[in-house]
Amino acid sequence: MNLPVIRLRPKAEARAIRHGFPWVYSDELVTDRRTKALAPGSLAVLEDAERRPLGLVAVNPGSRIIARVLDRDPEAVVDADWLAARLRAALAHRAQLYDAPYYRLVHAEADGLPGVVIDRFGDAAVIQSNAAWAEALLAPLTEALCAVTGVATVVKNGAGRARALEGLPEETVVLRGGVDGPVAVPMNGATYMADLMGGQKTGLFFDQRDNHAFVQRLAGGARVLDVFSHVGGFSLAALAAGAESALAVDSSAPALELAGQGAAAMGAAARFATRRGDAFDTMAALAEAGERFDLLVCDPPAFAPSRQALDAGLRAYERVARLAAGLVAPGGYLGLCSCSHAADLTRFRNASARGIGKAGRRGQIVYTGFAGPDHPQLPQLAESGYLKALVFRL
């Protein structure tokens, strides 16, 4: 193909690209009139300042990430066969991990498909095309997905901050097959109900699977509080492991309704309760009422989604830890999670420890967890290792 050529500025770090970094920022590229005129999602050959080719990239002149590396081979052809090869490699890894087809199938840059997330729910899959190139190639990507995995239903979830940064519109549509209601998802012995059309992200957070499994080891006979519960992630896992009771707290009524459906599907409805409200206000009210729990887990949204929000986000994590620690019975366990890539493990751990200390409690860390192996990390891209989970014994 006769593709356009784009070039790094003389002071840009070409070694990072050669060593596997997948992005080029707009201030690293020579953005002349020709480059600015490229349509979002266009393919181009990236060269260093000495005109040596670095690979094939997708370009979006309107994004701060102006180029995403698709292939180290500048002569690669990105078509249905290329997409299918990436999907087959991703599927082989997940098939090695899990007996049932419920997992993250594609984790963006780490699986060689920059900006693309695909979660699989049995014979259905949800695609998040969070980069202009993937949006432009959505039809062949869908075709390849169905051919490689055999899924019959494909949903495009086009919501979220990442798409806005790429200049893409928000829309959620069914691309193949049909969706007639929530999908039951078995995981760690629990049953979760995923809303593929209207739920957060793709409908379920597979990334917490291994952290759910650890918390299950602490849940037998426990009184459990699951704050920022979404569809009951930690509370339903605890019930599956024999918790005495579980209370799920979230601000979303639809999410709590799905959590209740999951508990009923597990035969655990009698041990499960929900409470809708602001997490901070609800924890304060529970403390005022003298409630105590043997196991408490907080899995909030990203309080620090960017470096600019880091300080405020760390204060929010500290506040969560302080309020939550006061609700844990002596000798009980407190799980705290962060999905903010801007808050690294050390900062998050320190903020959590400060909050526990300000609550007048002493804690020991008994577990540190991350996203499951269906969410692989690209070593060169810190953002791919966003999830941290800590469990303290107080």
Amino acid letter, residue 316: A
Do 387 and 339 meet the contact criterion of CB atoms below 8 Å apart? yes
146, 298, 337, 339: the catalytic one is 339
Do 230 and 208 meet the contact criterion of CB atoms below 8 Å apart? no
Sheet harboring 364-369: ordered strands across? 272-276, 245-250, 223-227, 293-298, 328-338, 388-393, 364-369
Residues 171, 178: Cα–Cα separation, whole Å: 16
**Helix, strand, or coil (residue 347):** helix
Catalytic residue list contains 339: yes
Could you tell me which of 216, 166, 161, 185 has the C-alpha nearest to residue 60?
166
Region for 205 from its dihedrals, namely left if φ exceeds 0, alpha if ψ lies in -120 to 50, beta otherwise: beta
Q: 191: which 2 tokens?
A: 């049953």
Do 155 and 128 meet the contact criterion of CB atoms below 8 Å apart? no
Do 269 and 246 meet the contact criterion of CB atoms below 8 Å apart? no
Q: Tabulate helix, strand, coil % of the chain (nearest 5).
A: 35, 30, 35
Residues 71, 28: Cα–Cα separation, whole Å: 19
Residue 325: burial class (beta carbons within 10 Å; 0-12, 13-18, 19+):
buried
Residues 362, 358: Cα–Cα separation, whole Å: 10
Active-site residue set: 339
